[in-house]
Amino acid sequence: MYKQEIETLPLRKLRKLQNERLVQLVQRVYAKVPFYKRQFDEAGIKPSSIKGVKDLHKIPFTQKAHLRDNYPFDLLAVPMKQVLRIHASSGTTGKPTVVSYNRQDLRIFDEVVARSLACAGAKKGMKLHNAYGYGLFTGGLGMHGGATKLGMAVIPVSGGMTDRQIMILQDFKPEVICCTPSYAQTLSEEMIKRNIDPKSLAVKYAVLGAEPWTEAIRSQVELGLDVTATNIYGLSEIIGPGVSQEDFEEKGSGSYVWEDHFFPEVVDKDTGEPLPYGEEGVLVFTTLTKQAMPLLRYWTNDICSLEYDKSGKRTHVKMSAIKGRADDMLIIRGVNLFYTQVEEVINEFDFLTPNYQLIVSRKKTMDEVLVAVEVAAGFEHTNDVYRKKLVEKIKNTIGLTMRVQLAPMGSIPRSQGGKLQRIVDQRK
């Protein structure tokens, strides 16, 4: 463990710390951030009425739209002269969401990423092949700072340029790689194409995040790169990568949320009511220690559940794998559908690869989904028996009849380092 004393803090003491930090946070944002003062006043809430995390449900949610409405810097709780770094989302759907950090925020950012890397198996003295993009996106610089704090040598490869990535993996011999899971798939496939034995590489741990992924992708990456692959979770609005991390020896049981800094809730996606541990809903975070741009009850749109693992190494709560995003959920003929559900079905057939897209269209008033999926090497994509098997399995498992198009190897778009688009919505 990176910091055993905080990672194994008894829950009673952890709650006390969270309560103290939340009370200070509420008082500060009410005094310093006009948006939050309006939120509280309009809801009839006095900061003094928030005594601890049990009172969080009284506070309205902060939505992504609020960040855009206060673009670029109206949510700052510190003077601009104290800001040392500014990140932003891609802004592909309008104004980007902007996040700012002061010196203390950057120390926390480095701390939680270092903690996450250690949880993933990384150690001081190892080399990190950092294939997250550098720039306004928080991934590259975020992982870089945390790895440096842990005492790793960082190779700042950034995204794309797969030929160079593979050369560096071979020549520089890093023990750890971080990137999106879809780009790890791309690297895995390229290794096979080039007849490169993954055991010839030094890399042993893959820290993958920035998009939802499944056990099917984990299996492909672990086999193709000969690594132990774990999930790192984060989002720019909360801090970036390092909000939670899966332990390399506890794979599949969820990711530890570093809840001394980020208090998580899961709420009903329709009513916003808090849900008990174990129930699935929208993940909500309150940043307990951020100074430049703290957020209260930020609605992430990510769907998961929370649970304490009494058999785990740490006392912090675990979040399940992200099932999808609430805004990515498709409602097809009355059935709720996440693309990860289709991926799980695809993984059951050895004649298919995890490379696929869901193409959504509308015929008159009826929505339809076409599943375009590649066949594995040695299988014929024109074989109608394979196609019918997948159609039937999807119908029996998910409850929807979908059209299936089997595609030859290499025909579905691959990640070049960034997030991969799994859903192509032609209705828009």
Q: Which residue reads 């993984």 in tokens?
A: 347
Q: Are 159 and 285 within one domain?
A: yes
Query: For the segment 40-51, what is each residue's pLDDT rounded down to a tens digit?
Result: 999 999 999 999
Q: Are 306 and 287 within one domain?
A: yes
- Say how far apart CA 131 and CA 158 lie, in whole Å: 4
CA distances from 83 to 79, 137, 293 (A): 7, 17, 10
* E strand map for 15-84: none
pLDDT at 339: 83
3-state helix, strand, coil in the chain (%, to 5): 35, 25, 40
**What average pLDDT does the chain have?**
93
Number of structural domains (the chain) is 2
CA distances from 22 to 54, 260, 265, 285, 290 (A): 10, 10, 14, 12, 11
Q: Are 92 and 145 within one domain?
A: yes
- Say how far apart CA 265 and CA 56 lie, in whole Å: 9
Residue 93 burial (C-beta neighbours within 10 Å; 0-12, 13-18, 19+)? exposed
Q: Which residue reads 């902060």 in tokens?
A: 62
For range 104-118, the mean pLDDT: 98
pLDDT at 188: 93
- Taking alpha carbons only, the member of 189, 249, 172 closest to residue 223 is 189
What number of other Cβ atoms are within 10 A of residue 364's Cβ? 4
Where does the pLDDT of residue 212 fall: very low under 50, low under 70, confident under 90, or very high at 90 and above? Answer: confident
Query: For the segment 294-310, what is each residue's pLDDT rounded down to a tens digit?
Result: 999 999 999 999 999 99
Is the pLDDT score of 418 beyond 60?
yes
Q: Are 20 and 47 within one domain?
A: yes
For range 166-191, the mean pLDDT: 95
Number of H helices, E strands in the chain: 11, 21
Is the pLDDT score of 128 beyond 70?
yes
Q: Are 341 and 301 within one domain?
A: no
Final residue of a domain: which of 268, 300, 327?
A: 327
Q: Are 138 and 200 within one domain?
A: yes
Beta-bridged to residue 208, according to DSSP, are: 179, 231
Query: For the segment 232-270, what is each residue's pLDDT rounded down to a tens digit?
Result: 999 999 999 999 999 999 999 999 999 999 999 999 999
Query: What is the token pair recorded at 412?
Result: 């579905």
Final residue of a domain: which of 295, 327, 359?
A: 327
Range of the domain at 409: 330-425
For range 60-83, the mean pLDDT: 96
| Side chain identity, residue 330 | L
For range 273-283, the mean pLDDT: 97
Provide φ and ψ at 350, rounded to 5°. Answer: -75, -10
Q: Are 290 and 418 within one domain?
A: no
pLDDT at 273: 97
Question: Could you tell me which residues come within 8 angstroms of residue 92 by beta carbon, excluding any fewer than 6 positions away?
Answer: none
- Say how far apart CA 140 and CA 158 lie, in whole Å: 7
**Which comes out higher in pLDDT, residue 162 or 365?**
162
Q: Are 259 and 347 within one domain?
A: no
Question: What share of the chain has pLDDT > 90, as a percent?
Answer: 76
Helix locations, 73-102, DSSP H: none
Question: Could you tell me which residues come within 8 angstroms of residue 62 by beta carbon, excluding any fewer than 6 positions away?
Answer: 39, 295, 296, 297, 298, 299
Where does the pLDDT of residue 326 fall: very low under 50, low under 70, confident under 90, or very high at 90 and above? Answer: confident
pLDDT at 410: 84
CA angle 213-278-258, nearest 5°? 65
For range 297-326, the mean pLDDT: 94
For range 358-366, the mean pLDDT: 80
Where does the pLDDT of residue 194 fall: very low under 50, low under 70, confident under 90, or very high at 90 and above? Answer: very high
Q: Are 65 and 154 within one domain?
A: yes
Provide φ and ψ at 116, rounded to 5°. Answer: -65, -45
Helix or strand holding residue 107 (H, E): helix 103-119
* Residue 40, domain CATH: 3.40.50.12780
Enter the DSSP assignment of 12: H
Task: Give the DSSP letter string of 318-364.
Answer: EEPPP-EETTT-EEETTEEE-HHHHHHHHTT-TTEEEEEEEEEEEET
Query: What is the token pair recorded at 225?
Result: 């790169």
For range 151-171, the mean pLDDT: 95
* Residue 349, domain CATH: 3.30.300.30
pLDDT at 85: 98
Where does the pLDDT of residue 331 fall: very low under 50, low under 70, confident under 90, or very high at 90 and above? Answer: confident
- Say how far apart CA 252 and CA 48 lie, in whole Å: 41
Is the pLDDT score of 333 beyond 80?
no
Q: State yes or no: cis peptide before 72, omega within 30 of 0.
A: yes
Q: Are 145 and 40 within one domain?
A: yes
pLDDT at 378: 84
Query: What is the token pair recorded at 318?
Result: 């675990």
Of 41-55, 107-121, 326-340, the least confident = 326-340
Question: What share of the chain has pLDDT > 70, as a percent?
Answer: 96
Is the pLDDT score of 152 beyond 90?
yes
- Say how far apart CA 147 and CA 157 lie, in whole Å: 14
Query: For the segment 88-98, what is each residue's pLDDT rounded down to a tens digit?
Result: 986 545 678 99
Q: Are 27 and 156 within one domain?
A: yes
**Which comes out higher in pLDDT, residue 154 or 361?**
154
Beta-bridged to residue 352, according to DSSP, are: 375
pLDDT at 368: 87
Is the pLDDT score of 428 beyond 70?
no
Task: Give the DSSP letter string of 256-316.
Answer: EE-TTTEEEEEE-TTT--B--TT--EEEEEEESS--SS--SSEEEEEEE-EE--TTSSSSS
Q: Are 195 and 341 within one domain?
A: no
pLDDT at 228: 98
- Say how far apart CA 186 and CA 416 lie, in whole Å: 8
0.75 exceeded by pTM: yes
Query: What is the token pair recorded at 238?
Result: 């909360």
pLDDT at 160: 86
Helix or strand holding residue 126 (H, E): none
Where does the pLDDT of residue 416 fall: very low under 50, low under 70, confident under 90, or very high at 90 and above? Answer: confident
Reported residue count of the chain is 428
Is the pLDDT score of 414 beyond 90?
no
| 3-class SS of residue 170 | helix
Final residue of a domain: which of 327, 344, 366?
A: 327
